[in-house]
């Protein structure tokens, strides 16, 4: 195998191949829609995994940034006359700025305290969205203008399938890049021992903040994409349950594993669709599946399975 075709390139090629080939088996546009939802959530999860899996800092309010991105593309065109893509960028900038401002004080906290502080941040964003109904439509949500670029309008599930799939591949590329750079090593080092990282000269506060801002931008972009794809936003997208869902994707797939986050997102989005045949037992089954996978695959699905495969190859 040539050197450039390392683990990283292989992962990307496989992911791109899946995105390209998957539609061949799609019988209806409904499948395009579900797959796009997977790509959007996976993109947010891949970003959150940089914060949680690499740098080891939890965020229970990440849907707040998702919501900011979503409402930016709703409010920007409707109230300010911005083009959608401009609103998307502004949403990302606002999310980054908020993460940077709030991250400075709260990332000093550890463990449960950090969890609660980030939870508070998420709740706050959701609260603002719900109460500022003049701008946001309040609890009912609001409709979102279609994305248009140079006269071309993005509509239809298959168009959004390709946009979200492409963006996911790009986001995965960046996340994979980061792992083996001075920044990525600093993230992983402070995750394992803050004391040793500091003694090695790593400015722990700065790198935690960087990871938080990166993850916030990912979530914001995912929120913008989902809003434009749906043509509609509501406050639930910024809500606590959505934050928990994002964390679940990351943990279920495997903390620190980029592929894991994609697998986790795919499971959490597609399982409810599959389980609808069980009607009222749907949620019960989803919960059970999550519990059982965490019991038997503590490190997450992808790390556990790849270790298992490596073991088989060796024996």
Which residues of the chain form contacts with another protein (CB under 8 A)? Answer: 174, 177-178, 180-186, 188-189, 191-193, 195-204, 210, 214, 256
- Indicate the residue among 174 and 244 with the shorter CB distance to another protein: 174
Phi, psi of 234 (to 5 degrees): -145, 165
**Shortest separation between residue 309's beta carbon and another protein, angstroms:** 17
The packing angle between helices 204-230 and 29-49, to 10°, is 170
The 3-state secondary structure of 62-111 reads CHHHHHHHHHHHHHHHHHHCCCHHHHHHHHHHHHHHHHHHHHHHHCCCCH
Residues whose CB is less than 8 angstroms from the CB of residue 249 and which lie 6 or more positions away in sequence, other chains included: 41, 42, 45, 48, 261, 264, 265, 267, 268
**Shortest separation between residue 182's beta carbon and another protein, angstroms:** 4
**Closest by CA position to 127, among listed 79, 80, 77, 68:** 68
**Shortest separation between residue 188's beta carbon and another protein, angstroms:** 6
**Shortest separation between residue 162's beta carbon and another protein, angstroms:** 23
Distance CA 126, CA 266 (A): 25
With DSSP H G I counted as helix, E B as strand and the rest as coil, what are the percentages for the chain, rounded to 5? 80, 5, 15
- Indicate the residue among 87 and 189 with the shorter CB distance to another protein: 189
- Indicate the residue among 68 and 214 with the shorter CB distance to another protein: 214
- Indicate the residue among 168 and 189 with the shorter CB distance to another protein: 189
Give the residue carrying structure tokens 């979530």.
Answer: 219
**Shortest separation between residue 122's beta carbon and another protein, angstroms:** 24
- Indicate the residue among 16 and 174 with the shorter CB distance to another protein: 174
**Shortest separation between residue 186's beta carbon and another protein, angstroms:** 6
Give the residue carrying structure tokens 């590329």.
Answer: 173
Distance CA 82, CA 94 (A): 15
**Shortest separation between residue 174's beta carbon and another protein, angstroms:** 5
**Shortest separation between residue 175's beta carbon and another protein, angstroms:** 9
Token duo for residue 271: 């399982």
Distance CA 176, CA 260 (A): 12
Distance CA 40, CA 46 (A): 10
- Indicate the residue among 61 and 256 with the shorter CB distance to another protein: 256
Give the CA distances from residue 262 to residues 77, 219, 246, 273, 309, in Å, rounded to whole numbers and listed in that order.
31, 14, 11, 17, 19
- Indicate the residue among 233 and 255 with the shorter CB distance to another protein: 255
Residue 172: how many other CB atoms lie within 10 Å: 22
- Indicate the residue among 217 and 228 with the shorter CB distance to another protein: 217
- Indicate the residue among 122 and 184 with the shorter CB distance to another protein: 184
**Shortest separation between residue 306's beta carbon and another protein, angstroms:** 14
């Amino acid at each position: 195998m040539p050197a450039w075709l390392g683990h990283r390139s292989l992962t990307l090629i496989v992911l791109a191949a899946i995105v390209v080939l998957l539609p061949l088996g799609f019988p209806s546009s409904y499948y395009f829609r579900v797959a796009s939802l997977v790509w959007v959530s996976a993109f947010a999860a891949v970003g959150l995994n940089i914060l949680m899996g690499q740098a080891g800092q939890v965020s229970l309010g990440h849907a707040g940034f998702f919501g900011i991105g979503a409402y930016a593309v709703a409010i920007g065109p409707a109230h300010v006359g911005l083009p959608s893509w401009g609103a998307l960028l502004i949403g990302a900038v606002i999310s980054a700025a908020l993460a940077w401002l709030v991250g400075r004080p709260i990332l000093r906290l550890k463990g449960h305290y950090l969890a609660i502080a980030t939870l508070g941040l998420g709740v706050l964003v959701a609260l603002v969205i719900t109460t500022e109904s003049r701008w946001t439509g309040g609890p009912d949500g609001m409709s979102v203008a279609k994305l248009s670029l140079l006269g071309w309008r993005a509509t239809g599930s298959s168009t959004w399938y390709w946009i979200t799939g492409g963006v996911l591949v790009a986001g995965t590329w960046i996340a994979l890049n980061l792992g083996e750079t001075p920044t990525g090593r600093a993230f992983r080092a402070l995750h394992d021992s803050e004391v040793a990282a500091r003694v090695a000269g790593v400015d722990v506060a700065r790198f935690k903040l960087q990871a938080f801002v990166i993850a916030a931008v990912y979530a914001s972009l995912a929120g913008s994409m989902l809003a434009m794809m749906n043509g509609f936003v509501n406050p639930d997208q910024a809500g606590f349950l959505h934050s928990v869902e994002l964390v679940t994707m990351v943990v279920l797939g495997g903390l620190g594993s980029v592929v894991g986050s994609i697998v986790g997102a795919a499971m959490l989005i597609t399982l409810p669709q599959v389980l609808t045949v069980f009607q009222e037992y749907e949620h019960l089954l989803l919960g059970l599946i999550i519990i059982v996978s965490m019991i038997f695959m503590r490190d997450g699905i992808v790390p556990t399975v790849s270790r298992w495969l490596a073991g088989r190859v060796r024996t």
